[in-house]
Amino acid sequence: MSTDHVVQATDYDGLPVLVEPETRRLDGAVREAYVPPFAPPVKHGSLADLPFDNAETAPAAVVLSRRLADGRWTDVTAADFAGQVLAVAKGLIAEGLVPGDRIAVMARTTYEWTLLDFAAWAAGLVTVPIYPTSSVFQTRWILHDSGAVALVTETPGQAAAIGPELERMPDLRHLWVMEKGHVERLAELGAQVPDGEVGVRRGMLGPDTLATLIYTSGTTGRPKGCALSHGNFFAEVDNAIELLYPIFKAKSGEDVSVLLFLPMSHVFGRMVAIACVRARVRLGHAPSLKAEDLLPDLAAFRPTCLLTIPYMLEKVYNSARAKAETGGRVTVFDRASAVAVRYGEALEARQTGTGGGPNRALKTARSFYDPLVYRRIRNAMGGKVKYAICGGSPLGRRLAAFYAGAGIEIFEGYGLTETTGASTVTPPLKPRLGTVGWPLPGTRVRIAADGEILIAGDHVLRGYWDPQAGGVVPATRDGWLPTGDLGELDDEGYLTITGRKKELLITAGGKSVAPAPLENWLRQHPLISQCMLVGDGRPYVAALITLDPDGITHWRQMNGKHPVPPELLVGDPELEAVLQRALDEANKLVSRPESIRRFAVLPVDFTETAGHLTPSMKLRRQHVMQDFAAEVESLYTR
């Protein structure tokens, strides 16, 4: 669906003026919200032009930092990056890849991923991301369905795993491995290809040209390839850059940077990487989420913004509290936490015009606790972080307020692969804690009669990839994309996610229960790793709970117990009493028919490897129900 006029108004600093959503009501409720675009639509060119435009406009600007094998970081200028993109693009051409060919990339979040993305586009190709944790079956399906002619893996092990499947994939002609130096080899092979050949291929691309096929993680059924165009990405990132100016638009002399550690195989990570290149914000890649790897990267890179998910922010908070408890400072931490929450809520009240902001006593308390607690949390994130873009699932009001009070502004968003990333986002200086913000400029959000969220805008995908149907089949109805998510719009156009349409539990008494709010609330508990509600067709709602190993270890230490693996704690009466208190608190959020009556502690955690979680940490409920059918049954028979 095309958008209307573009907002041009700016304030005295040249920054965009917030334009409140236009809303439409039906039967007394807000059913639609729309924010006009902040950036004009791109009529010519493609993402392939971005490195070369940067090199022409600001050749000496540092656009990326590359992590070396010894852990040090080296800056990459716009001119250097454009040269590398050109060299690799020529190598792909030398290897016989033609415009429209699909090239798959299977790697963690690395510099080479972004380099290959832009090089492939410069050669006229379509990139197909594959999660490095994908099974051989999943990898084979994506390669076969997309018709990929080339695959780049990060490690020799990944290449070896797919080796026996190659005879089943006649389209796949090339298999390159990053760790074997094959990306550098591509650059060498292209030395004889004229630079003009890349220019010709770039000239063939336009906003409507297919840029990537991103396969949904598939919480149910077989993954589908989302066909996203260059224009989809421009509509997404250009409006995000204009709206989120504190992140992407540096003031004079100010360093802005983003360290990306979420998967590049997910649209969230790809979108932010492209936005950083578009805005010339220094971008770094961290391949590992393990604390022993990520913390040194954060300390060395020192980002001003992080891209994250609620699970990670919960872990940071719980780890900080556990350290404080071990050091005998838990009372100080809890008081500081309460002050931060009140401070964040006071900031929200001032920014939304419902209060006067933090009073003098609250400001004094925050200043007192800053060096004791808040600065330690910021230092764990590198020391310079001011902002975090958070998506994947709702963060929750309390945690969002805590981080705001601790000096880290959270821009919470909501979107899908099909919408090229965010469709709603927290507007700067006007947060509504507990919501996922307003429509991204250029986006329309509608709530259907059954509560389903519908999305329209130029960032919505062209369609789903279907080689049997000859290419791309439409994904929208009358310009609207049904998301499968349930939500509500308030009077000012803020969206709140209430659950998944297919995940609604309908108890034997006919009560509809959205499991996500209670699951998200319980997951914030330091002893709980994952939680899944059950009860469809049953007399009441119950829960499956998995234990957080770090939280359990700390809990046992603080209670003078010998350390044991979490699986040996199943049935421990003291632990069950602690968890029951957590459920009692959660149940205060809902009515009696929606409350959790019983729970079972599982001996193992939900993992992606076991098939219980998607790579983006979403529950695969059918897999969980199959693997723990006996535990579910016991909740209703004993």
State the DSSP string of 148-173.
-SEEEESSHHHHHHHGGGGGG-TT--
Band of pLDDT at residue 638, cut at 50, 70 and 90: low
Residue-level pLDDT at 2: 43
Judge contact between 120 and 101, C-beta under 8 A.
Answer: no
pLDDT greater than 90 at residue 406 = yes
Residue-level pLDDT at 160: 95
| pLDDT, mean of residues 449-464 | 95
**Which of 398, 371, 374 lies closest to 385, judged by CA?**
374
| pLDDT, mean of residues 179-196 | 97
Judge contact between 485 and 497, C-beta under 8 A.
Answer: yes
Q: Hey, CA dihedral for 258, 230, 87, 149, is it positive or negative?
A: positive
| pLDDT, mean of residues 334-356 | 93
Query: Mind listing the pLDDT tens digit for each residue in 507-544?
Result: 877 777 888 888 988 998 999 999 999 998 889 999 99
**CA pair distance 423, 416, nearest whole angstrom:** 8
| pLDDT, mean of residues 78-94 | 98
Rg (CA), the chain: 25
pLDDT greater than 90 at residue 560 = no
Label the pairing between strands 174-177 and 150-153.
parallel
Between 149 and 263, residue with greater pLDDT: 149
| Alpha helices, H only, 382-538 | 397-405, 516-523
What would you measure as the largest C-alpha separation in the chain, in angstroms? 75
Cα separation values, 187 from 8, 126, 191, Å = 42, 19, 7
pLDDT greater than 60 at residue 375 = yes
Band of pLDDT at residue 16, cut at 50, 70 and 90: low
**CA pair distance 346, 358, nearest whole angstrom:** 5
Residues 6+ away with beta carbon under 8 Å from 185: 91, 176
Residue-level pLDDT at 312: 87
Residue-level pLDDT at 470: 77
CB burial string 38-59: b at 16+ within 10 A, e below: bbebbeebbbbbbbbbbbeeee
Band of pLDDT at residue 181, cut at 50, 70 and 90: very high
Q: Which range has the worst mean pLDDT, 43-57, 230-244, 593-607? A: 593-607
**Which of 91, 427, 416 lies closest to 267, judged by CA?**
416
**CA pair distance 461, 431, nearest whole angstrom:** 28
Query: Mind listing the pLDDT tens digit for each residue in 478-495?
Result: 899 999 999 999 999 999
Label the pairing between strands 512-513 and 505-506.
antiparallel
Query: Mind listing the pLDDT tens digit for each residue in 396-405?
Result: 889 999 999 9
**CA pair distance 67, 585, nearest whole angstrom:** 44
Query: Residue 376: which H helix or E strand, with range?
Result: helix 375-380
Judge contact between 612 and 599, C-beta under 8 A.
Answer: no
Residue-level pLDDT at 537: 85
Judge contact between 93 and 198, C-beta under 8 A.
Answer: yes
Whole-model pTM: value is 0.85
Residue 105 CA, distance from chain mean position: 19
Query: Mind listing the pLDDT tens digit for each residue in 107-130?
Result: 999 999 999 999 999 999 999 999
The encoded tokens of residue 49 equal 């032009």
pLDDT greater than 90 at residue 7 = no
CB burial string 157-176: b at 16+ within 10 A, e below: ebbebbeeeeeebeebebbb
Residue 241 identity: I
Q: Which phi and psi (to 5°) does residue 573 adopt?
A: -65, -35
**Percent of the chain scoring above 90 in pLDDT:** 69
**CA pair distance 579, 581, nearest whole angstrom:** 5
Burial class, 498, CB count within 10 angstroms (exposed 0-12 / middle 13-18 / buried 19+): middle
Cα separation values, 435 from 29, 192, 240, 389, 495, Å = 17, 54, 18, 14, 6
Q: How many CB atoms lie within 10 A of CB 9?
A: 9
Band of pLDDT at residue 636, cut at 50, 70 and 90: very high
Burial class, 595, CB count within 10 angstroms (exposed 0-12 / middle 13-18 / buried 19+): middle
3-state helix, strand, coil split of the chain in percent (to 5) is 40, 25, 35
Sheet with 174-177: list strands edge to edge.
Answer: 174-177, 150-153, 102-106, 126-130, 210-215, 225-229, 463-466, 471-473
The encoded tokens of residue 296 equal 């040194």
Band of pLDDT at residue 90, cut at 50, 70 and 90: very high
Residues 6+ away with beta carbon under 8 Å from 535: 505, 507, 513, 541, 542
Residues 6+ away with beta carbon under 8 Å from 286: 67, 109, 259, 260, 261, 293, 294, 297, 298, 301
| pLDDT, mean of residues 40-62 | 97
Q: Residue 267 in 3-state DSSP?
A: helix
Label the pairing between strands 174-177 and 210-215.
unpaired
Residue-level pLDDT at 471: 81
Q: How many CB atoms lie within 10 A of CB 423?
A: 29
pLDDT greater than 60 at residue 283 = yes
Band of pLDDT at residue 196, cut at 50, 70 and 90: very high
Q: Which phi and psi (to 5°) does residue 142 adopt?
A: -65, -45
**CA pair distance 283, 227, nearest whole angstrom:** 25
| pLDDT, mean of residues 221-233 | 90
The encoded tokens of residue 579 equal 């968890």
pLDDT greater than 80 at residue 222 = no
**CA pair distance 40, 235, nearest whole angstrom:** 8
For the chain, the average pLDDT equals 91
Residue 483 CA, distance from chain mean position: 16
Judge contact between 576 and 569, C-beta under 8 A.
Answer: no
| pLDDT, mean of residues 460-472 | 89
Judge contact between 42 and 233, C-beta under 8 A.
Answer: no
Q: DSSP label at 374?
A: I
> What domains does the chain contain, in order, with CATH numbers?
47-206+244-289 (3.40.50.12780), 295-496 (3.40.50.12780), 504-637 (3.30.300.30)
